[in-house]
A and B are shown apart, each in its own frame.
Chain A
Amino acid sequence: MKFAGLLAMPAGFFLSIAALVLFPASNATSRGAFVLCGLAVEALGLVVAVRGHMEVQTRATQAMESGNIETQPAETERRRPS
């Protein structure tokens, strides 16, 4: 899933480049919209990649809970980030 997200990101980049090539400078609105769409595709790809990362993280935690890998020390729950 992480790789799928990372593969989607270049598609967004090429969409942004296509905006420059396809639309003349006088058509700034269409250019801008196309570039924003490209960035939106990249953002979606990034979200998918991040979700993939979280899936891997969850699997690792579950494996830890089931004792498949070395147990981590029990920690208190703290909300304040380091």
Chain B
Amino acid sequence: MTPNPSTALADATFTFVLVLLLLSPMAIAGVALINTGLGRSRSAAQSLLGSVVLVAVAAVVFALIGAALTGTAGAADHVFHLAGKPWSWLGAGPLFLRGLGAALVQSQLALLFEFLAVALAALIPWGAGADRLRLIAGCVVAAVLAAFVFPLVAHWVWAGGWLAQLGVNFSLGSGFLDPAGAASIHVLGGLSALAVIWIAGPRKGKFPPGGFATAMPGHNAIYILFGCLLALTGWMAFNAAGAILWLHAPLAALPVTVINTLLSASGAVLATFTVTRVRFGKPDASLCANGWLAGLVASSACAAVVAPMPALVIGIVAGVITPLLVEVLELAVSIDDPSGAITAHAAGGLWGLIAAGIFAPQAGQLLAQLVGIAALLGLVLPLLYLLFWLINRAVPFRVDPDGERIGMDLHELGGGAYPEFVIHRDDSYR
């Protein structure tokens, strides 16, 4: 491959974006640590090994198929015409990354961003299926996400698809705004998590007959909270890189984007801290981590398009919603989501997308955001459920009862993450 002169980006900008993208895997590491910490100790090794394997599967499948279906803005795509307007719904790039070396530098950086995005999206349902989702099923879910569903959404949002063109075709602001993947990473991942949970069912003992949901606390608060700090670095880099790549923001605008990210996360964690302190008498570490994550996810949609004070407000709202929604999902709706993926990623992302529409200065932006949300909920969620339901027929998601009893580490890997520790039985949660 011959190096390509940077035609669309100045050399300084190119270097800056590349450095930001090299920092972005911190977000993946943070989410992997949070997922592992929120699971049980007897499934910790399987959870973290699964995160590594899923990132690998997502990257390989995206390189083989997904990148072609995502396409790039202005390149070949699948279009149909309705009401005199073009509706670009899927990319039609070359398979197997052919011609990547000759592509524009900006396209190469965009592709790198998408690689990291698909890896992060694949980890979200994995965390939600902790303690009962088989590793092979997680790999198949990641492969399906990377091959078909993520490219579909990423094309709509980032590669000149119909959502990105809402501004040009229907005078809706600047089109659907999602510079750092609130929709294509987090809402997609959160909805995948919901579909996985519906199909796999709750952990054994989570909803006992005739009683309330059993508390199954995460096994390692250190992993969870260190994961939060690690994720902050990755998120700042993701948001800044997304602002340059998808919104063509100047370098001078990036400090505000990064500050907004920090403010959103800070507002969210303080709000969650306060809500859990009031509701339970003491702040809850795992819910605070979910609040922090929800603030970061909300910032993915709006950090690059709002001012600092709105970013803080957006974070606070995300932080208030998070503990309440976790409680509703678990106690009222019987959804067992160990990592809080539906709340932090799906609900946080949806709130961020709406907030970007509310606080963005362009007229019609809110309607563009709502149309994007309608597409995610109305089309992507049923599609995900259908795909996962079919996969579950061939590759059962849920481990057998014996595997769940002895733990995923022993059952799938033959050894635990903490071989010198005593592993608690279910009875110890009494």
Contact = CB atoms under 8 A, between A and B. Distances in A.
Interface in B178-218: 198, 201-202, 204-205, 207-218
B371 interface: yes
Nearest to B381: A9
A61 B217 CA distance: 22
Interface string B277-289: 0001000101100
B207 A79 contact: no
A12 B202 contact: no
A82 B370 contact: no
A78 B280 CA distance: 12
Interface stretch (B247-255, B292-300, B327-335, B414-422): B327-335
A3 B412 CA distance: 32
Nearest to B405: A70
Given A70-B401, A80-B284, A82-B217, A36 B382 contact: no
Q: How many A residues are at the interface, by size bracket?
A: 35 or more
A11 to B, nearest CB: 8
Contact of B382 (A6, A31, A76): A6
Contact of A20 (B170, B326, B377): B170
Interface in B364-417: 364, 367, 370-371, 373-375, 377-379, 381-382, 385-386, 401
Nearest to B323: A81
B171 interface: yes
Contacts of A10: 378-379, 382
Interface of A: 2, 6-7, 9-14, 16-17, 20-21, 25, 28, 31-32, 35-36, 38-39, 42, 45-46, 50, 53-54, 57, 60-62, 64-65, 70, 72-82
Interface of B: 38, 82-83, 166, 170-172, 198, 201-202, 204-205, 207-218, 280, 284, 286-287, 326-327, 330-331, 333-335, 338, 364, 367, 370-371, 373-375, 377-379, 381-382, 385-386, 401, 426-427, 429-430
